[in-house]
Every structure is written in structure tokens, then in C-alpha cells.
Amino acid sequence: MNLILLFDSDFINSNQVRLSDRRFEHIAKVHRAEVGDYLTLGRLNGGTGRGKLISLDQYEAILELEAEPNQVPPAPLPLTLILALPRPRMLGRTLQHISTLGVKKLVLLNTKRVEKSYWMSPMLSEDKITEQLILGLEQAKDTMMPEVILEKQFKPFVEDRLPELCNDTLGLVAHPGVSNACPRGIEQATTLAIGPEGGFIPYEIEKMVEAGLKPVHMGERILRVETAVTALLARLF
């Protein structure tokens, strides 16, 4: 935890916060902070700054903000990421990774090779998604919460919403075996689609191309979803 993310409910007055959850435990057991120490803080969807630890016991920590957090968090990626819903045990790690890397708009999409049972996972609850995204923000010293959209129907999404979503952006869909390599070091707004571990089926690629996405590859190796996400974002940006 490189940043302690603060919520409105943490404030006991205009410049003091009380923490008694895992953030308190992290301050006490990982930071091993002592009264008088300064820690990096950030307000959710706001700025970052510092806070002084003014009280610490076995139940809670109280910090006093040095000033209203007004330092700008890291810049977001100019990216909308469309990701075929990963298996539940991989979803949590993937959410953390994209949050750490600066993705601010994520579409989790149903495809032919996404098992129906994935959509019934508790990991898709709003609380669980938010929990994983917060872990990623804390790692990156970021405060801006990503937007996550669940799209359970492939065809209505690619026909009705994807064309507008990728309008005026560089539209890409990662797919092995195509002729064009993924570009490097771009700066323009981008819409990127990444399929399940088995890849998109030909029909899905066809529909995405119709909507404005260009198929690109990352080489001969077939990557796991969480690896592909990290590798593609690193290559693009």
C-alpha cells in the first residue's frame, strides 16, 4: 500500500480521519508507523497529499491532513479496454493490474468462449470489483476510480455501442495469427479489445472489424489474459 486512500466516511472533522480497517492494520503492521510520522494519503477521485499520524492504539489510527490533498494523481491511460470476462480466480488479479496501470474505462464482455458460470461469480459484485480496483489504486498512488461496465450480450454491444465507443480512437483487437503487429508507443486515444484465453471466434472478430477495430498480434506466443493485458498496455503506452 503506497497510498492510503480516504473516503468521505473516514472523516471525523474537516482535516482528520479515523481508520480501523485493513488500512489501520497496514499502518501499524507494515508501515510500522509511530505517532508523529507522515504518510501519503489520497481522497477518492481527488488529489493526493500527506497526513500526520496523531493517534494509534490497538483498534484504530487517527491521521491529520497536512492540507487538503491537492497533488494531481498519475495521468490515466487514454484507453477504453474491452476484455472478455476472465475466469473468476483470474479476474481479481486482472482488475488490480489494470487499475495500477491507469485504465479508467473497462468493459467486461461476454463472448462465445466465456463460460456462463463466470457471470454468476461473487467476484462480479460491485463491492468485490471495487475492492480489487482500490488495491490497484493504492499500489500506483492513484485516486481516480475506474469505470467498469458489464456487457452480457455480445451482438447488441458490438453492433449498437462499440462503434460509438471507438469513434475517433485507434481501434484495436488483439488476436493471434493476423498479419499486423500491435503498434508501440502511441499517444492517441485507443480502444483495445482482448479476448478470452481461447481467443475470439471468427464471427466475433468479423463483427469487431465491422465496428471499427483492427486485428493485431503480439507475436507467436499465446498469453494468459492477465499477462496479455499487461504486455499489451506496456507495448502500446
Which residue segments constitute the domains of the chain, with CATH numbers given?
4-65 (2.40.240.20), 79-236 (3.40.1280.10)
Residue 18's CB: how many other CB atoms inside 10 A?
16
CA dihedral 28, 31, 34, 36 (to 10 degrees): -130
What's the count of helices (H) and strands (E) in the chain, helices before strands?
Answer: 7, 12
- Per-residue pLDDT tens over the stretch 47-106: 999 999 999 999 999 999 999 899 999 999 999 999 999 999 999 999 999 999 999 999
Q: What is the identity of the amino acid at 219?
A: G
| Residue keyed to cell 474505462 | 105
DSSP at 217 = B
- Whole-model pTM over 0.85: yes
For residue 206, the one-letter residue type is E
Q: What is the pLDDT of residues 127-151, one digit of tens each?
A: 999 999 999 999 999 999 999 999 9
